[in-house]
Amino acid sequence: MSIQLPPLFESRMQRWLGSEYESFIASYDRPRYAGIRVNTLKIDADEFLAASPFGLKPIPWCDTGYYIDENERPGKHPYYHAGLYYIQEPSAMEPAEALRPEPGDRVLDLCAAPGGKSTQIAAKLRGEGVLVTNDISAERTKALAKNIEMSGVRNAVVLNETPERIAEKFPAYFDKILIDAPCSGEGMFRKDPDAVRQWEKHSVEVCTVMQRDILDTVASMLASGGRIVYSTCTFSPEENEAMIALFLARHPDFVVGELPHSPLFAPGRPEWAAGLVESGGGLSPLLHEAAPGGEPLLSRPGALAPTARAARIWPHLAEGEGHFVCVLEHTGEKAARPCAAGSAGPLVGAGEERPAEAPAGGRKDRGPKAAGRAGDRGGAAPRREDKAARQARGRQKDAYIREEASEETVRRACLDFLAEQVPTPLRGTLLISGDYAYACPVEPERLRGLKVRRSGFQLGMVKAGGRFVPSHALAAALKPAESARTVRLSSAQPEAISYLKGETLTFGQERIERAAGAEAKGYVLVTIDGYSAGWGKWAAGVLKNEYPAGWRWNG
């Protein structure tokens, strides 16, 4: 075995697995499994299978997931840059499947970076409802925002907050919540040798305290009758069965829900946690947490038994890394409620009658509230930039001589662009943040005071002179029929790679597919094999490349 496992970890696993231990240890000498998940926001699974350049084998627990040979380099194909699939470890696809999000749901992915589970949830929502995706690490939210945008997600807000701060703004709000909890990472030892080195740093004792606090906070954000999925990538019963049983003891209005077991999954192991409680052993003092003046919560008869309904994914039983997944159902009655504000109705001005002109007088006179605030922010609310807007403004070379565009200027420029380029109505509340325009899927006042990476579906920004520049997120989310101008590139031709490298292309206007009445000159949605990849700006036979510099092909 090439991986040097911690001796304490080995002794614990040998004690618990018994006769299975040799098979478990032998799995560390087998190649790790790689997978991709088809992004059904952009392409149907059957359509992708027909077009796929890779050899694929279905992943049994995810109907859009497929095993792939890593040597095929799926990250180096134009389809990856077009957002047709997400590269994801196979076992990591199960938690979002267990959550069972449905169109119209309000969903929170609490520990979301780099975004695999969030994009999986978004595909199941099909653009309807709300996805709030969050990570406490500011650095990791960069990858999270990028993957949300590359996947063409239109109804997501990206936060960089603590669970407690989110709970203040979203009490009893979400129908479904996914907690891919920070954990000791034992299930990743086979895939990532660094996880072995980090095991003591991210000890079971430290992780269980974080997990308990996260679960307690998340319970306050769940609507009556809602569902929580708790998952980890560790084998530790302290972080799995014991943590679930402790949560149930502290929250009697929850039960462990049914989790349809794949034949390749094993049930939870409540007896492992029970043995630790009875022996006084284990790596977490929370095993012995007691009610005020009472016995330890996990010593109560039957406290651990429900956790047998959880699922464990073992690398010696299934083709994937180690995972634990448990469904927690709130026993209250699910109340009928309207859709989240801004998530159902069309964006004001997108394909609709334009609102009246704002009165003269600059920023203080912002005109009608129909577009941008619509009763959401209130006339006296201060304007607040999200992180993307602040960073973009800081990069402006002429920032020291250019005043920030007024909210009305950004709003009007955005609506003018959409009316000309994207006549199909978009959903959400038009929210202006700095020089940026967003289609926000939640009531904007809920975001006030939070650290926001993306305030919603980023539409674009206004630069000097009132010029509106559409975002890459908008291009990635559009279908060709939704854009006034498109051009088709082929993945089989060098032209597609040239575009992804950021190079200028030259071709005549006859290649630009246009809506009725649209001229050839202007922003063009560039597609690869008919799937949106980004923007270009065409004039006089030259397509100026608008593909983001940080995303460009470097293979």
d(CA 281, CA 275): 8
Contact 158, 457 (CB under 8 A): no
User: Which of 62, 111, 183, 233 is flagged as catalytic?
Assistant: 233
Query: Would residue 98 be called left, alpha or beta, if left means φ above 0 and alpha means ψ between -120 and 50 degrees?
Result: alpha
CA-based nearest residue to 385, from 376, 397, 393 = 393
Before 114, cis peptide (omega within 30)? yes
Name beta bridge partners: 312.
266, 324
User: Residue 198 phi/psi, 5° resolution?
Assistant: -90, -5
Residue type at 232 in one-letter notation: T
Active site residue 183: no
**241-250 vs 270-279: helix crossing angle, rounded to 10:** 80
d(CA 418, CA 426): 9
Three-state DSSP class for 539? strand
User: Residue 459 phi/psi, 5° resolution?
Assistant: -95, -35
**β-pairing, 106-109 with 174-180?**
parallel
**138-150 vs 116-125: helix crossing angle, rounded to 10:** 40
Per-residue CA distances from 157 to 206, 272, 276, 349, 371 (Å): 29, 39, 41, 21, 19
d(CA 370, CA 388): 25
Written as six digits, the tokens of 167 are 């709970």
Torsion (CA) 37, 41, 43, 45 in degrees, nearest 10: 40
Q: Active-site positions?
A: 233
